[in-house]
Amino acid sequence: MKLTRREHLGLIGSAFVVTASGLPLAARAEPKTIEVMMLNKDPDDPSQRMVFKPAVVRANPGDTIRFVSADKNHNTESTAGMLPEGGEEWRSKLNEDFDVTVSSDGTYGFHCTPHKALGMVGLILVGDAMVNFEEARGVRQRGKAKARYEDYFTQAEEMLKGES
């Protein structure tokens, strides 16, 4: 079967449309699960107690953060005022693994309810984390949580600068 030039160009154009429309889906990473350990002490620095490991997590919308109860008496809870618009609050039970699927771009703060005053806090940076970064950073904290959040926001800035 011989194609006319018009038919040939039409087929090429159709193939291009099908291929191009599939590119965004192919280029987009599949959702992944990222584990965060809830620990009594940092295995890399035993002087650091009551920690999430890692404490600063980079994720894409649709990823799941799995908080793993590696040591007893820990949980995870979203920190008030430190969620992007559309981000859902969460609070797990003590001593249980817990999954949070992040769907909105932004910075998410979290902590261990019984150990927040001891500085057991962390950040999740999702997609365009700058959407609410400064607002989250401005949330008033107390005790050791304040110092650790300051450190983690500095780490987050460095992480985000390295991406641009």
Assign residue 101 the CATH number of its domain: 2.60.40.420
Domain count, the chain: 1
State pTM to two decimals: 0.83
Q: Check the annotation: does 115 bind a ligand.
A: yes
Q: Check the annotation: does 50 bind a ligand.
A: no
- In tens, the pLDDT along 71-117 reads 999 999 999 999 999 999 999 999 999 999 999 999 999 999 999 99
Among 142, 102, 98, CA closest to 123? 102
Consecutive 10-residue averages of pLDDT for the chain (164 residues): 51 41 53 98 95 98 98 97 97 98 98 98 98 98 97 97 88
Q: Check the annotation: does 120 bind a ligand.
A: yes
Give a yes or no: residue 66 inside a domain.
yes
Q: Check the annotation: does 112 bind a ligand.
A: yes
